[in-house]
């Protein structure tokens, strides 16, 4: 068993999978890692093989308030575990690294694998008795998403096989343990008058008490973004229920899934476009005001990039920004859509 775990944790399997996919390092490149001037952004890594240039881009997208709150819990546990365990990412060489922004973070477990397990499977569990669709089709979709994202983390050289497997296993455990309590949690979020205060307090305490870093990385800030957005989503859930903003169903579940039509596609496109515009401008305005306010309290300049990495600057301004965006995205945007009859 020890030998198997060592093999799964080693870089050789990662490198072998990359070569099998046609991914090879540049000829004569013996450096531990090739870095670019854009080291803090997403930059391509030049390669020879099946592709001449590769750039992997992933985006996690949630569909419901409950999914966003659940993913916040999963991501916090995953990110915090990384900075507690402090297992390094696969070394290069022999692995080819296709990302540089998050390379300063630790690797165990893979939070991409955790998110790719949590989102589709919680969505499946939450909708299988609410909408009419073949369960087998939903299960196939969830397994496909989880598999593709997990393999992508190995392909990009960001995680070992053990990182990915542990990420999936942790998510499976969390979903299994929490599933019986989903209805009770949702009722509490909607009906209890202290739910908004608890959501704000808990998300801030989790963010400010994130495991101490031995070196700065994007982990703490990214985790604060996700956790605070989850807190904002919980507040939006309470607002929607208390202010009677949730549309009343016309019949009892399970509901028919409407067929795609030009009218429906147009409405979906309009809702998406309007929502993106609202969130974009809200983020710009809230972030500017929050950063200026927090920096003034801390006695530092908002333009000082190093000061932004301080605990009592980075966490509060990101917490304020994304808590508000959670409310904007899940309460304000739907209200605008209803007002416009979309």
Beta bridge partners of 48: 24
Beta bridge partners of 235: none
Q: Cβ(233)–Cβ(326) under 8 Å? A: yes
**Element (H or E) spanning 105, and its range?**
none
Q: Which two tokens stand for residue 76?
A: 């916090």
Q: Cβ(316)–Cβ(205) under 8 Å? A: no
Would you call 112 a catalytic residue per the annotation? yes
Q: State the virtual CA torsion across 84, 86, 89, 93 in degrees, nearest 10.
A: 180
Tell the residue number behind the tokens 């209803």, with chain if given: 338
User: Exactly one of 45, 159, 215, 337 is catalytic; which is it?
Assistant: 159
Compute the distance between CA of residue 18 and CA of residue 153 in angstroms, rounded to an integer. 11
**Element (H or E) spanning 53, and its range?**
strand 53-54
Tell the residue number behind the tokens 């999936």, with chain if given: 168
| SS3 label, residue 255 | strand
Q: 321 CB contacts (<8 Å, ≥6 apart)?
A: 225, 228, 283, 286, 287, 290
Distances (CA, A) of 61 to 94, 105, 119, 254, 319: 32, 22, 8, 24, 19
User: CB burial class (10 A; 0-12, 13-18, 19+) of residue 41?
Assistant: exposed
The count of other CB atoms within 10 Å of the CB of residue 102 is 18
Q: Which two tokens stand for residue 25?
A: 């390092």
User: Exactly one of 45, 112, 215, 337 is catalytic; which is it?
Assistant: 112
Distances (CA, A) of 164 to 102, 106, 111, 146, 210: 16, 13, 8, 10, 22
Q: What is the DSSP letter of 93?
A: T
Catalytic residues: 112, 159
């Amino acid at each position: 068993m020890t030998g198997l775990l060592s093999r799964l944790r080693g870089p050789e399997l990662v490198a072998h999978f990359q070569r099998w996919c046609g991914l090879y390092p540049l000829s004569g490149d013996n450096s531990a890692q090739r870095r670019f001037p854009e080291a803090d952004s997403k930059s391509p890594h030049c390669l020879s093989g099946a592709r001449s240039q590769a750039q992997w881009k992933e985006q996690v997208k949630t569909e419901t308030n409950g999914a966003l709150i659940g993913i916040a819990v999963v991501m916090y546990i995953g990110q915090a575990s990384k900075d507690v365990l402090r297992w390094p990412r696969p070394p290069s060489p022999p692995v080819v690294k296709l990302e540089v922004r998050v390379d300063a973070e630790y690797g165990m477990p893979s939070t991409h694998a955790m998110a790719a397990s949590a989102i589709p499977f919680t969505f499946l569990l939450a909708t299988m008795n609410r909408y009419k669709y073949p369960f087998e089709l939903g299960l196939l979709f969830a397994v496909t998403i989880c598999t593709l994202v997990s393999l992508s983390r190995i392909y990009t050289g960001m995680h070992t096989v053990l990182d990915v497997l542990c990420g999936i296993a942790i998510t499976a455990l969390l979903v299994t343990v929490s599933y019986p309590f989903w209805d009770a949690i949702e009722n509490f979020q909607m009906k209890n008058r202290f739910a908004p205060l608890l959501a704000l307090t808990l998300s801030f305490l989790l963010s400010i008490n994130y495991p101490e870093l031995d070196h700065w990385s994007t982990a703490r800030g990214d985790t604060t973004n996700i956790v605070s957005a989850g807190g904002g989503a919980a507040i939006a859930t309470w607002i929607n229920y208390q202010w009677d903003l949730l549309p009343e169903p016309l019949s009892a579940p399970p509901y028919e899934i409407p067929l795609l039509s030009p009218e429906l596609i147009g409405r979906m496109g309009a809702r998406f476009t309007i929502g993106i515009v609202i969130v974009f401008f809200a983020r710009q305005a809230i972030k500017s005001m929050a950063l200026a306010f927090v920096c003034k309290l801390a006695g530092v300049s908002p333009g000082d990039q190093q000061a932004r990495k301080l605990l009592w600057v980075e966490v509060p301004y990101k917490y304020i920004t994304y808590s508000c965006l959670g409310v904007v995205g899940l309460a304000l945007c739907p209200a605008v859509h209803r007002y416009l009859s979309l």
